[in-house]
Amino acid sequence: MASITETAQAFFDACETGKGWDGCQQYCTADASFVAQAEPLADIKTLSAYCDWMKGLLVIMPDGRYEVKSFATDAARNNVSAYGVFKGTHTGAGGPPPTGKSTTTDYVYVMQFSGGKVSSMTKIWNAPYAMKELGWA
């Protein structure tokens, strides 16, 4: 059985490269929840919906990519935190009209585990800053 660190890393990569729920569900419980105090994500309550949101984001930002800055496992609390920087330019169709503007935005995922799988995730992200950079706000 994979460690929670290995599972978190595999999930993180699948999510951040736009695999959607189809590519992420193997690392998660079926009812995994999602929370973010960021307006663009306010209505998203399940990890499956968030994974599909990320898939859609990479359609409108086809050069979207991430850089991991820190990855930490808290075995006592059964969670893994990942700090990354997302970079991308809004050039793709499917959302608001392309602005051609780019963002470099910091974020953190805190992935809680149950039975060796992600059972909930919190995203910590300064969405207004990213929206402004992209010309969406």
The CATH number of residue 103's host domain is 3.10.450.50
The structural domain count of the chain equals 1
- State the pLDDT confidence band at 2, using cuts at 50, 70 and 90: confident
Exposed, middle or buried: residue 21 (CB in 10 Å: 0-12, 13-18, 19+)?
A: buried
This prediction's pTM: 0.96
Q: Report, as an integer, the average pLDDT of 91-104.
A: 94
Task: List, for residues 44-85, the tens digit of each pLDDT value.
Answer: 999 999 999 999 999 999 999 999 999 999 999 999 999 999
Q: At 23, which amino acid appears?
A: G
Sheet containing 79-89, strands listed edge to edge, beginning at the edge strand earlier in sequence: 28-36, 117-125, 102-114, 79-89, 65-74
DSSP 98: P
Domain that includes residue 25, residue range: 4-133
